Amino acid sequence: MEYSASHSPSRGALSGSLTEQEHTAVNEAINALKSKAGALLPVLHHIQGTLQYVPPSAVPVIAKGLNLSDADVHGVMSFYHEFRQSPPGAHVIQICRAESCQAMGSKSLEQHACSRLGIDYHQTTTDNNFTLEPVYCLGNCMNSPSVRVNDQVYGEMTDEEFDLLLSGLLTKVIEVQSP
């Protein structure tokens, strides 16, 4: 039998706050992976891979579908920092916090990035252009400090290079006027 959030009367109010796209992604993940041992992490990764985040209102749906408590699901989501609970900005910027990058100035780069973007880690700019996240090793240690934007890694990042990178990523608004 396929699991569906709509068959969960005791949790209907919470699952009702999922959009159709979220509802579909959550149910697909549960139905495809619930028979795996330790299915929770694969389910969460599948949902985030599809939606780019795991909606908080999905927690009771996931718990019910995997026969877990809401606290079990929430605990795993809060333990693993890579699970987002809201949609990310158009560009996800990750600054490496591993030892090599720290030794080469990533702490200063973090401060600059937070100041420049006006946000802290795990936040998104008000224009939804950028989400800032920490990451613990990008495998680019010989070019520390490193930053990943979306899936592209940039090494030897300085404050100035960071500013140039941001400028290149900003979406330009073009106003079209009729004749």
Q: What local confidence, expressed as pLDDT, does residue 179 receive?
A: 67
What pLDDT shows up at residue 38? 95
- For 127, the 3-state DSSP assignment is coil
Mean pLDDT in residue range 42-50: 97
Pairing of strands 91-96, 130-135: parallel
Q: What tens digit of pLDDT does each residue of 139-158 get?
A: 999 999 999 999 999 999 99
Q: Is the predicted pLDDT of residue 13 greater than 80, yes or no?
A: no
Tens-place pLDDT, residues 65-115: 999 999 999 999 999 988 999 999 999 999 999 999 999 999 999 999 999
C-alpha distance from residue 23 to each of 17, 18, 43, 98, 108 (Å): 9, 6, 13, 36, 41
Cα separation, 50 vs 43, whole angstroms = 11
Q: In this structure, is the dihedral angle defined by the CA atoms of residues 76, 36, 86 and 69, taken in order, positive or negative?
A: negative
Q: Which residue has the tokens 């500013």?
A: 163
